[in-house]
Structure 1
Amino acid sequence: MTSVYQGREQTEAKHFILRRYLQTLAFKTLHGGWGTLAYIDGFSGPWQSRTPDHSDSSFMIAIQVLKDAQEKVRESGKRPRIKCFFVEENPDSFTQLQAAVAAHHDPASGFYIETFNGKFENAVTQIQRTIANSFALTFIDPTGWTGYEFAKVKPIFEHAQGEVLLNFMFDFVNRFTASSDPVTLTSFDGILGDKWKQRLDAFSLPREEALMALFREQFWKAGKFNYVLSTPIEKISDRTHFHIVYGTRSPEGLAAYRDVEYAALKDHGMRRAAARQVIQEAKTGQFVLFGAEEMTSMAELSMDAQIANIKNQAKDWLRNQLPSCPKPFSEIWPPMLDQFMLRKTDAKQVCVELGKAGEIRETWRLNGSRRRTPDDADKIERP
């Protein structure tokens, strides 16, 4: 655990996802034909930054990632443009934000930075101008649950060539949606929709699952996304602190995010274990002889056990799909990843294991093929 994030392991996991996914997105879009990539940060801060240059803040992480991607893409002869739009309402934080990003605004090199002092909801018109003719990633990281009412930010969400990462402050929302104060309850209408309490109570699910299902439904409607995922980030105490919610229209984006999610949760599990070890040592005065390699191994074992269980659920799901098969694997893995916390490589293994069990044909091995897993064009069908 780095000292910058000590006691903020959840923030480190959030920044891990932002950094890794933005890196992947930048290279895929800029190498894939897009001349301009726009990055929108709706609640930029800085908040609780512990570094003089704010390198532990989302806006500076984004700048570093995007400048590096732009430089590497240029080596291939392309001339990509990067647009950053940072929004911060708090005047003192905005002053710090402006001072930190000013030196990185470099129009001559195709790197543009615009800042906005005010509410994210009031910056929609300017943001629409920024993201026009660009592929856009919008990152929303509020300190609570207000300031991004879906009806107001809908034009940004609906940008056809764009994706959204949103930090849903589950722990706060879970506590305050149980309030009896009418004003507090009404404050959730903008993200949970009208009559949300009745709709929430109608779910026959545990409260966290029901609340996330309700929020994801409203998020999906606001952006007309094809896929909406949510990644729970837990505290050291194993209680969910927040969910990173991701919306995309792209199967490739879906697969890329699942890869990042897996790496982030494995890394977060290791850091939570290390933090618990520090707490235990402080309480008992006894040192536990677990090094970095042991922590990594334990985190991997924990993730592997979770994935094995989820793959079994995915097998049942695929069995239910078989009556409507054959379908190419390209039509199987996106809905599987949408529903289950699996990577594309895991979806392939689900098919391989069902193939070995004789429940589906091993079409990827026909005609003398030595391939061990299916490709997108391989049919998934009954024997």
Structure 2
Amino acid sequence: MLSLKDYVGREQSFLKHTILETYLQRLFMIIGRAEVTINYVDCFAGPWADDNKELKDTSIGLSIEQMRKCVATLRKNHQKTVTFRALYIEKDRAAFSRLQEYLDKHRDPAVHVECRHGDYTTLIPDIMAWSQDHFTFFFVDPKGWKGIIGPTTMQMLLERPKTEFLINLMYDFANRAASIEKHEADMVELLGEALALDGDETADIRQDRFLGLYRKNTQNTYGGRSAYVPINRPGTTKLLYFLVYLTRHPLGIKVFKEAAEKMMVAQRVTHAEVQLRKQFEAAPVSDLFAMDDVAEHCITATDNRLLAKQFLLKKLSITPVLVDYDLWATWLEESDLYPSDLQLGMKELVAEGLVKNLNADVSKRRTQFIQPNYPKESERWCLSN
């Protein structure tokens, strides 16, 4: 399990790795029951600022550890043998030397690791050949945004079958260039079309338009679904980047959003710890009233039950609706809400007598009011008469 104390000064990496670890745990176990070989590709592997020679708190060490755990768990609990193939790509020569040195020491017949030196965009044909026809998960975590993650640049990878992505969309950097004329072509490459802004947009509207274009045009090329999670600069409410997830399976959206919700809890904890550390650094002498200032600036948990209730009431009618995995994933995509938001919203609607379940008595359910495909059969919901 990741520990925040190992990420002092780079807390945003802790958040990124938290969702990567949480999601990979679930993804590898699900895919591993159906596939005999699973590929993992890290397009910007590093390592960078990590001081640990074992690289445990980097995406490299984290991914290899998750692959090892999955192999062992599938063998023990499901009598299933799975082989992982991992490809780590790095352009920086010094970082690649560290990467190569680390991977050369790796000895595990169930997890085959390789590395390539170079710009991943020029290596895409090589990556396609290496991946063969196996399921492949791509982690695309660049330090920049120009000419590296746009739908045209990634087209060959996006159109590949049996493929999922977790992409770091560097909003903070790209947003600064969004209104600069010399970057117009770069923005079109990134978003798939021109970003129309009049300069009067609020920060939230600007973010929604930016992310909306990227998701729409990337999905059009990919032919699947997408979800995302925002990452703020630790200790502030300033948005740094979006982690955008692409999948062609509705269950993938469900699992990712559950992992994203856990990461949002970690983000609040991280925010509070950074605020507290800044306070101690500014005033080493303990202050009994210091926590008041920290509390005022903490990121608080957002209660989205009202938004969830409004959304559900729009989606339901007197005609019964089958809430299966496909519809559940669509709701999570369209609403930008988290699973617990919709669950709590439905719980209140049931208590208020506004909706009902036609297949099950939900009065004894405490949290999972909506249960797609449970037990192996989805349930019908509708508005009460």
TM-score interval, normalised by the smaller of the two chains? 0.7 to 0.9
Alignment match, 1:278:
277
- The amino acid of 1:94's aligned partner reads F
Q: Secondary structure at the match of 1:104?
A: coil
Alignment deviations for residues 253-275 of structure 1 (CA, whole Å, 9 cap, x no partner): 11111111111111121111111
- 202 and 225 in structure 1: CA distance in 2 versus 1, 3 angstrom threshold: farther
Indicate whether 1:80 and 2:82 are aligned.
Answer: yes
CA contact (8 A) 1:364 1:371 kept: no
Alignment match, 2:371:
375
Q: Kindly report which structure 2 residues correspond to 1:284-363, keeping only aligned pairs within 5 A, or say none.
A: 284-287=283-286, 302-303=300-301, 306=302, 308-309=303-304, 311-323=305-317, 325-330=319-324, 332-363=327-358
Distance 2:54 2:198 in 1: 43
Q: Select 2:228's aligned residue among 227, 230, 238.
A: 230
Distance 1:114 1:201 in 2: 47
Alignment deviations for residues 52-84 of structure 1 (CA, whole Å, 9 cap, x no partner): 122222122111111121122222322101011
- The amino acid of 2:26's aligned partner reads T
CA contact (8 A) 1:17 1:260 kept: yes
- State percent identity of aligned pairs: 22
With the length of structure 1 as denominator, give the TM-score of the two structures.
Answer: 0.86
Distance 1:220 1:284 in 2: 49
CA contact (8 A) 2:320 2:381 kept: yes
CA contact (8 A) 1:258 1:341 kept: no
- 320 and 3 in structure 1: CA distance in 2 versus 1, 3 angstrom threshold: closer
Q: Secondary structure at the match of 2:145?
A: coil
Structure 2 unaligned blocks of 5 or more: 373-377
Distance 1:261 1:57 in 2: 19
Q: Secondary structure at the match of 1:139?
A: strand
Indicate whether 1:264 and 2:263 are aligned.
Answer: yes
Indicate whether 1:141 and 2:141 are aligned.
Answer: yes
Distance 1:14 1:274 in 2: 17
Alignment match, 2:184:
185
Distance 2:271 2:58 in 1: 20
Distance 2:348 2:309 in 1: 9
Alignment match, 1:110:
110
- The amino acid of 2:247's aligned partner reads T
- The amino acid of 1:268's aligned partner reads Q
- The amino acid of 1:238's aligned partner reads T
Distance 1:198 1:234 in 2: 24
Instruction: Tell me the CA shift for residue 357 of structure 1.
Output: 1.4
- The amino acid of 1:128's aligned partner reads M
- The amino acid of 2:310's aligned partner reads D
- 129 and 203 in structure 1: CA distance in 2 versus 1, 3 angstrom threshold: farther
Instruction: Tell me the CA shift for residue 172 of structure 1.
Output: 0.6
Instruction: Tell me the CA shift for residue 343 of structure 1.
Output: 4.1
Instruction: Tell me the CA shift for residue 43 of structure 1.
Output: 0.7
94-103 vs 348-357, greater mean Cα deviation: 348-357
Instruction: Tell me the CA shift for residue 218 of structure 1.
Output: 2.3
Instruction: Tell me the CA shift for residue 203 of structure 1.
Output: 8.4
CA contact (8 A) 2:357 2:379 kept: no
Distance 1:142 1:175 in 2: 17
Q: Select 2:8's aligned residue among 6, 9, 31.
A: 6
CA contact (8 A) 1:200 1:211 kept: no
With the length of structure 2 as denominator, give the TM-score of the two structures.
Answer: 0.86
Alignment deviations for residues 118-146 of structure 1 (CA, whole Å, 9 cap, x no partner): 11112222222333332221100001003
Q: Secondary structure at the match of 1:82?
A: strand
Instruction: Tell me the CA shift for residue 51 of structure 1.
Output: 1.2
- The amino acid of 2:140's aligned partner reads I
Distance 2:198 2:330 in 1: 25
CA contact (8 A) 2:124 2:157 kept: yes
Alignment match, 2:70:
69
Structure 1 unaligned blocks of 5 or more: none
Alignment deviations for residues 284-328 of structure 1 (CA, whole Å, 9 cap, x no partner): 3343679xxxx99x98x932xx1x22x321221221222484111
- 283 and 201 in structure 1: CA distance in 2 versus 1, 3 angstrom threshold: closer
Alignment deviations for residues 135-170 of structure 1 (CA, whole Å, 9 cap, x no partner): 221100001003234223222222332211011111
CA contact (8 A) 1:43 1:87 kept: yes
Distance 2:11 2:48 in 1: 15
Alignment match, 1:211:
210
Instruction: Tell me the CA shift for residue 332 of structure 1.
Output: 4.1
- The amino acid of 2:349's aligned partner reads L
Indicate whether 1:124 and 2:124 are aligned.
Answer: yes
Indicate whether 1:45 and 2:46 are aligned.
Answer: yes
- The amino acid of 1:67's aligned partner reads R
Q: Secondary structure at the match of 1:244?
A: strand
- What root-mean-square deviation, in Å, do the aligned CA atoms of Structure 1 and Structure 2 show? 2.9
CA contact (8 A) 2:43 2:138 kept: yes
Alignment match, 2:375:
none
- The amino acid of 1:77's aligned partner reads Q
Alignment length, in residue pairs?
A: 367
Indicate whether 1:18 and 2:20 are aligned.
Answer: yes
Q: Secondary structure at the match of 1:379?
A: strand
Q: Secondary structure at the match of 1:264?
A: helix
